[in-house]
Structure 1
Amino acid sequence: MLETINLSNQKVLVLGYALTGKSVTQFLLEQGAIVTVNDRGDLSQDPSVPLFIEQGATFVTGSHPIDLLDENFSFIVKNPGIPYTIPIIEEALRRKIQVITDVELAYWFSEAPFIAITGSNGKTTTTRLIYEILHNYQPKQTYLAGNIGIATLDVVKKATYQDDIVIEMSSFQLNGTEKFKPAIAVLTNIYDAHIDYHGTKEAYVDAKMRIIRQLTNNDWIVYNANQPILVDLIASNVAKKVPFAVDNINEAIKKHGAYLEDKALYYQAEKIIDIEDIQIPGKHNLENILAAIAVAKLKEVPNDIIIKTIKTYQGMAHRIQPIAASQERVFYNDSKATNITATITALNSFTNPIVYIGGGLDRGNTFDDLIPFAKLVKAAFLYGETKFKMRDSFEKAGIATIELFDDLKAATKAAYLAAQAGDKVLFSPACASWDQFDNFEQRGDVFVETVEELLNQIPYETLGA
């Protein structure tokens, strides 16, 4: 929280409406700011618009006119998804108008400290598990916020200095921060991602590292010690450091961090939980759990609460989520796998034969990076814009059965009919959803609904397996 912030009668431009924009507009109006909302879409049917107009907000829709900037705004709060390359943002920066995202504004006013989680993969699972553990520990109130789908400003209005805000942060959100400083920063991993938005990997990494830029020696960094890039990036930071690791465990990690040893998870030589008691599959999830354990121990949560929460945690929807099991076939929804790296993680999560379903928006890349990780894939059922490219890569991997379909439902039905006892049926698209769906959640819901329909319509016993 910054000490002296007064927005009364300050002119602020809210760029982009949607969930975040509505939250920002409401908050700014409550602070007495003079608010202009600019969205390139048609908001004429949005019932919230006239309500905000009654409170004094001005709406400019249909485009992003450059001359809006002549209004001498104190700063701009932009939707995280809006790139910095659009003309109005480029001109604002040229004029030295401050451009932030909602999480920066939230930090200015928050009484509660933040526990902030970022990374290329695993941040949602880690965020949710940290929240569940702290929520089950009663002395403080814990709030969930950020990229997980909960407007941060809505939470800040409720949280007091005695509470904690557990916030998932994307590179898009972090790119619009300047003063934001969490009490605990969690770094799950760094891989190539969102280069189409940031332009270069260096710019992407720089955005991620804004999460630790303002830390002091009173703050903490919880980081993946198995990633040399993260070890190097945090080396000079003055914050206190807690590593977590599943491989290459050394004495420093054992002394200061969380780690995997002898099929159990430990924190500073103290055994916390056996792997066999964990519900969510995959080595990557062990990393996520270790990060959550480290945060929980820093917050002095008793072991019994940590253990009970981990034992009952089933994971997040659309993230290697077990959705059905029938006659030793298990179906997994990993619709959140919008890139190749996420699908590699999913493929590495199993030791059984995999019946694979994938495809989606064509961003111009090949899928050859999947080849070394497709050893357990016995059959692939591909759909969407990328089906031919994916077929080419899976043929190189030596997969005997590859079938192509126009849509997800048809591919899912074929995979369902092909699966045998012991198989894992994995929907992990390795692509964005926008060729056929509005978002990955809608895509995952269609997969889940299709599997449920098939289980009712074509019972396993009729397949002759």
Structure 2
Amino acid sequence: MAHATELRGKRVALIGLGIESMALARFAAHEGATSLTATDNRSTEAVAANMAALADLPVPISMLAGGFQEAAWADADVIFVSPGITPGFEIRVPGIDEAAARGAIISNHTQLLFERCPAPIIGITGSSGKTTTTSIIGEMLHAQGGRRVLVGGNIGIPLINEIGALTAADVVALELSEVQLARVHTSPHVGAITNITPDHLDRYGTFERYIQAKRQIVRAMTPDDYAILNLENTPSRESAAFTHGQVLHFSSQRQVELGADVTGGDIWLRLPGRAPIRVCGADETPLLGLHNVENILVACIATGLMGVEPATMAGVIRSFRGVHDRLEFVREWHGVRFYDDSIATSPSRAMAGLRAFTTPILLVAGGKNKELPWDDFAKQIVRRVRAVTVMGVSSDFILTAIEAAQATIPPAEQQLRQVIRVTSIEEAVARLAATATTGDTVLLSPGCASHDMFTNYEERGRRFADAVRALPE
């Protein structure tokens, strides 16, 4: 039976030449595509290294740089669109609708992977928790052993060129952002929505559009597939109405009928056709925060459906120490502990970071707001944080939100004593270190994107950690 996206003998176009498109170019060339044409909004010089890495392909690849050029896909049979391109970009770059109307297939790396992978796929999406959950799933699957396991998607490397050696007995775990799901009309065998909270409104315009983008992961499920949904998050929970898959829930607050929960301080797994079984104590994980317990619940359901034993899950829960830039411990300095939560690029993620601590908090916040409301986060800052530094292009917006929160919260409920505007993350570390005392926590949990001051959130986290480690003894 032919694959839904046939590449042999086809003219293939790639819109955007990032890491996934490079993997697709290599895969298409070896599948027998007759031509490869890429276009990118970056300059020829900016994409030169990527083009050089593809110089060994059996089919030469041509490049139209300096803007997305319709000539690249005008006669293409298959058009792969990079996930880095803003949804709705067709309005700005004409010709895609016309290409689809004449019969061209519009696809992306995720869709092709879903079509070609012989092994069952676990897909994880959500506003937060994706990377940690996917990483725990990978660790649990590896610890169980007995089959090949691939972990990728939004973490690691694109997997399209790695699946050739897989069989139906193996398993793939994918972290999937909403942009990677934008052109997907197939669902994974197991799909989870960890949570959906306001994010990327600068891209989607409305929260509802963002919710629908996340729900794409479960829309094409069959009754033989499984949708794992958050009972305590309304958009995730209500995604049950958009899937034909079997629905399992997770909750850190109450017992669920099918799925996983925390009951009596213990993690319980409740899978279809099996008796409920205790996995371990919820407090046995070294990870901070209730949100990480919820990530663990998702991992237990997903891997339990794949045959991982509860004892194996428990071993990983006790040993897994997290992922970089996610409430990552950096250093203890004169009794003050520093944590890097640079991944917190939205107020909701930053609030989860604050809730992970009971110690006094000194907060590093700011960057580029993604058109998200800060009212609730500002109130938490006023109630929970003793000092905050604010940096980045959205500083005025953030300072206004904090001032509004201070005006509405009774003085007796306010913990905030210092609001400090800074121009660099190094200055933020130095100022907070100077005011911190033994027992305090200094937390980088910005609530904003990083692109106004850094290449990405990883660079922001590294710069924070470097500044912390440079503090004199």
Same fold, TM-score > 0.5, yes or no:
yes
Rate the CA distance shift 1:190–1:366 in 2: closer, same or farther, 3 A.
closer
CA offset digits 1:296-348 (Å, max 9, x no partner): 22122122211111111111111111222244422110111111111111111
Residue 14 of structure 1: CA displacement?
Answer: 0.5
Q: CA deviation at 1:435?
A: 1.1
* Structure 1 equivalent of residue 246 of structure 2: 240
Q: Give the counterpart letter for 1:195 in structure 2.
A: L
Secondary structure at the aligned position of 2:296 is classed as helix
Q: Is 1:283 matched up with 2:290?
A: yes
1:70 alignment partner, SS class: coil
2:78 aligned residue (71, 75, 78) = 75
CA distance in 2, matches of 1:200, 1:82: 18
User: In structure 2, what is the Cα distance between the partners aligned to 1:65 and 1:52?
Assistant: 24
SS at match of 2:350: helix
Which residue in the other structure is 1:270 paired with? 277
Q: Aligned in 2, Cα 1:342/1:2: closer, same or farther, shift over 3 Å? A: farther
Return the alpha-carbon distance in structure 2 between the equivalents of residues 164 and 326 of structure 1: 43
Q: Among 395, 408, 422, which residue is 2:425 paired with?
A: 408
Q: Give the 5 Å matches for 1:59-138.
A: 59-71=63-75, 73-83=76-86, 84-87=88-91, 89-96=93-100, 97-138=104-145
In the alignment, the residues of structure 1 paired with residue 372 and residue 362 of structure 2 have an alpha-carbon distance, to the nearest angstrom, of: 23
C-alpha offsets along residues 103-130 of structure 1, whole Å, 9 cap, x if unaligned? 1112222112110001111111111111
Query: Given that residues 189 and 225 in structure 2 are in contact (C-alpha distance below 8 angstroms), is that contact kept between their aligned partners in structure 1?
Result: yes
Matches of 1:6 and 1:297, distance apart in 2: 34
Alignment match, 2:150: 143
Partner amino acid for 1:384? G
Deviation at 1:392?
3.0
Structure 1 range deviating more: 112-121 or 298-307: 298-307
Q: Give, as a single letter, the amino acid of the residue that structure 2 aligns with 1:216.
A: T
Q: Report deviation, 1:363.
A: 4.6
Please give the alpha-carbon distance, in whole angstroms, between the structure 2 residues aligned to 1:19 and 1:161.
27
Larger CA deviation: 296-305 vs 307-316 = 296-305
The SS at the match of 1:450 is: helix
Instruction: Report the equivalent of 2:9.
Output: 9
8 Å Cα contact 1:118/1:170 also seen in 2: yes
**Structure 1 partner of 2:320:** 313
Q: Could you tell me which residue of structure 1 aligns to residue 301 of structure 2?
A: 294
The change in CA–CA distance for 1:113 and 1:2 in structure 2 (over 3 A counts) is: farther
Task: Say if 1:212 and 1:367 are closer, same or farther in 2 by CA, change over 3 A.
Answer: closer
CA distance, structure 2, for counterparts of residue 276 and residue 56 of structure 1: 55
- Residue 258 in structure 1 maps to residue 275 in structure 2: no
Residue 40 of structure 1 and its aligned partner are, at CA, apart by 1.9
Shift of the 47–351 alpha-carbon distance from structure 1 to 2, 3 Å rule, reads closer
Structure 1 segments of 4+ aligned residues over 6 angstroms from their partners: none
The percent of aligned pairs where both chains have the same amino acid is 26
Q: Determine the structure 1 residue equivalent to 2:437.
A: 420
Per-residue deviation at 1:233?
Answer: 2.0
Letter in 2 for 1:46: A
Q: CA deviation at 1:80?
A: 0.2
Which stretch has the larger CA shift, 28-37 or 92-101? 92-101
5+ residue gaps, structure 1, are 460-465
8 Å CA contact 2:200–2:370 kept in 1: the answer is: no
Q: Residue 148 of structure 1 aligns to a residue in which SS?
A: coil
Residue in structure 1 matching 2:401, options 379, 393, 396: 393
Q: 2-side partners of 1:29 and 1:338: how far apart?
A: 37
* Alignment of structure 1 residues 87-236 onto 2, 5 Å: 87=91, 89-96=93-100, 97-178=104-185, 180-235=186-241
AA partner of residue 267 (structure 2)? L
Alpha-carbon distance in 2 for matches of 1:228, 1:436: 34
CA distance in 2, matches of 1:217, 1:280: 34
Does residue 452 in structure 1 map to residue 453 in structure 2?
no
**Residue 137 of structure 2 contacts residue 303 of structure 2 at CA under 8 Å; is this kept in 1?**
yes
Alignment-derived partner of residue 384 in structure 2: 376
1:66, 1:87 within 8 Å by CA — same for their partners in 2? no
Task: Determine if contact 2:199/2:370 at 8 Å carries over to the other structure.
Answer: no
Post-superposition shift, 1:35? 1.2
Taking a change above 3 Å as real, the CA distance of residues 227 and 278 of structure 1, as seen in their structure-2 partners, is: same
Query: Is 1:46 aligned to 2:49, yes or no?
Result: yes
Using the TM superposition, give the Cα deviation of residue 275 of structure 1 relative to its aligned residue in structure 2, in angstroms: 2.7
C-alpha displacement of 1:440: 0.5
Structure 1: distance between partners of 2:331 and 2:267? 28
Q: How many angstroms apart in 1 are the aligned matches of 2:344 and 2:50? A: 34
Alpha-carbon distance in structure 2 between the residues aligned to 1:329 and 1:438 = 28
Residue 349 of structure 1, CA deviation? 1.4
Residue in structure 1 matched with residue 409 of structure 2 by the alignment: none
SS of match in other structure, 1:152: coil
- Give me the whole-angstrom Cα distance separating, in 2, the residues matched to 1:165 and 1:94: 35
Aligned residue for 1:349? 356
SS in 2 for 1:325: strand
d(CA) in 2 for partners of 1:371, 1:56: 54
Aligned partners of 2:153 and 2:175 also within 8 Å: yes
Q: Provide the C-alpha distance between the structure 2 equivalents of 1:172 and 1:91, rounded to a whole number of angstroms.
A: 20
User: Over aligned residue pairs, what C-alpha RMSD do you find?
Assistant: 2.1
Task: Provide the C-alpha distance between the structure 1 equivalents of 2:236 and 2:66, rounded to a whole number of angstroms.
Answer: 42
Task: Classify the secondary structure of the residue corresponding to 1:422.
Answer: coil
Report the CA distance between 1:369 and its aligned residue.
2.5
Alpha-carbon spacing, 1:236–1:29, altered in 2? closer, same or farther (3 Å)? closer
Displacement after TM superposition at 1:373 (Å):
1.8
Further displaced range: 343-352 or 387-396: 387-396
Judge conservation of contact 2:287–2:321 (CA < 8 Å) in 1: yes
Kept in 1: contact 2:190–2:225 (CA 8 A): yes
Report the counterpart of residue 27 of structure 1 in structure 2.
27
**Larger deviation: 292-301 or 169-178?**
292-301
- Aligned equivalents of 2:385, 2:19: Cα separation in 1: 39
Cα 1:154–1:10 change in 2 (3 A) is: same
Q: Is the contact between residue 122 and residue 188 of structure 1 (CA under 8 Å) also seen in structure 2?
A: yes
Residues 402/114 of structure 1: CA separation in 2 closer, same or farther (3 Å cut):
same
Q: More displaced, 260-269 or 15-24?
A: 260-269
